[in-house]
Amino acid sequence: MTPLRLSLAVGDYDRTRALFDGRVTPAGTDLTTIPVPSAETFVRMLQYEEFDAAEMSLGAYASLVSRGDERFVGIPVFPSRMFRHRDIFVSSGSGISHPSELSERRVGIRRYHMTALVSQRGTLSDEHGIRPDQIKWVRAGIERAGAIPSRVALRLPAGVRIDKVTDRTIDDMLISGELHAGLLNFSPPSFRRGDPRIRRLFTNPREVENEYWRRTGIFPIMHLVVVHRRVHDHAPWVAQSLMHAFEQSKNLALSRLLHTGGTSLRCFPSSTSTPKMRYKPLATG
């Protein structure tokens, strides 16, 4: 059988490195792996459908599926998983010290459908009883002012309203107190510089995230891998072949870290001391 030519756009992570250097190739394919930053991949796949398979925002993918958009087939490969408690910031002058105090406050966001924000909204709702319609959302850039284009068409739930600000950043508005909080996907520049006017809502995020992991067993998925429908319909076996290849690549990365004493692994949550279980959430879940 002639191998199927396949293009794959994915981040160049430790867990995907073997797909780039040829140590792992999906069975039955002639794979071309293209290292593309995730934000760029999302746009190129969602708007232009450039690749046969690609890393994809879980929030964007779920939005597409909910509207009957079946251009892509998701497979259970998750290149990015991350806790997002650490990315909830507050203006120090807001007086907010607990998530329940976000009700009726002005909260900055980049995109409502962004996976990080979906995870954070779920945490607020499930863990602290704060519904999305109880928050006054403000959409803006975190460190650059200007319009933030949506990657998918936005249909807001009943009662949810979003104001848009294009002449100031979330960082500016947290500093000034115009925003009480920000549900973000990375830290604001003033916080990184040590400005005391912005702080994390959870002052001990690693402890909070580890406790969340131990209690729920959830390591939030940020990105998955999708196969274009035209490829899947032509060769449905590609989905399983890709999944196995990603798993092999992840295992090679884990083996290397374990055998070289990679200390970075200790940052991952653990509910058991068994290394295989402890490190499994690193890539494909």
Indicate the residue among 216, 234, 259 that finishes a domain: 216
Q: Which residues contact 76 (CB under 8 A, 6 or more apart)?
A: 224, 243, 284, 285
The pLDDT value recorded for residue 222 is 98
pLDDT(277) > 50: no
Indicate the residue among 194, 216, 238 that finishes a domain: 216
pLDDT(275) > 70: no
What's the mean pLDDT in 109-117?
A: 96
Q: Are residues 228 and 140 in the same domain?
A: no
pTM of the model: 0.89
The pLDDT value recorded for residue 265 is 47
- Provide the domain count of the chain: 2
**Tens of pLDDT, residues 18-76:** 999 999 999 999 999 999 999 999 999 999 999 999 999 999 999 999 999 999 999 99
pLDDT(279) > 60: no
CATH of residue 277? 3.40.190.10
Q: Are residues 10 and 54 in the same domain?
A: yes
Q: Is 29 exposed, middle or buried (0-12, 13-18, 19+ CB in 10 A)?
A: buried
**Tens of pLDDT, residues 84-112:** 999 999 999 999 999 999 999 999 999 99
Structural domain boundaries enclosing 196: 85-216
Q: Are residues 63 and 108 in the same domain?
A: no
